[in-house]
Structure 1
Amino acid sequence: MENIMAWSVKSASLIYTISQVCTFVAATVTAVCVLSMWKASDILGKDSDLRIEEAKAQAAQANERAEKIKKTIKWREVSQEQYEKLKYTIMKKPSFVIILTSSDDPESIYYAKSIENALIELGIEVGRFYFIGSQETSSDIEVYSDDATLSAYYKSIFEGANFNVAFSERTPWAEKVGRGAAFTSGVGGLAIVVGPRLPPGFQD
Structure 2
Amino acid sequence: MTQKYEIKTRKTIDTINHLLDDGIKRISVLIRHSDRFFPEDARWEPFMGLTDDGKDFAVDFGAALGSNPLPKLTSSFIGRCVETAYLIDKGYTKKHNRAIDHNCLNDMLSPFYVKDVEKAVPCIEEQGNTLFLRNWFDNHIDESIMENPQRTSDLLSEFMIEQIKNLKENQMAICVSHDWNIYLLKEFKLGLKHETTGNVDYLDGLVFFEKENQYYITNYQTNPILL
Q: Do both share a fold (TM > 0.5)?
A: no
* TM-score for both structures, normalised by structure 2: 0.32
Query: Per residue, is there more helix in 1 or in 2?
Result: 1
Query: Per residue, is there more strand in 1 or in 2?
Result: 2
Q: Which has the higher contact order (CA 8 A, sep 6+)?
A: 2
* TM-score for both structures, normalised by structure 1: 0.35
Larger radius of gyration: 1
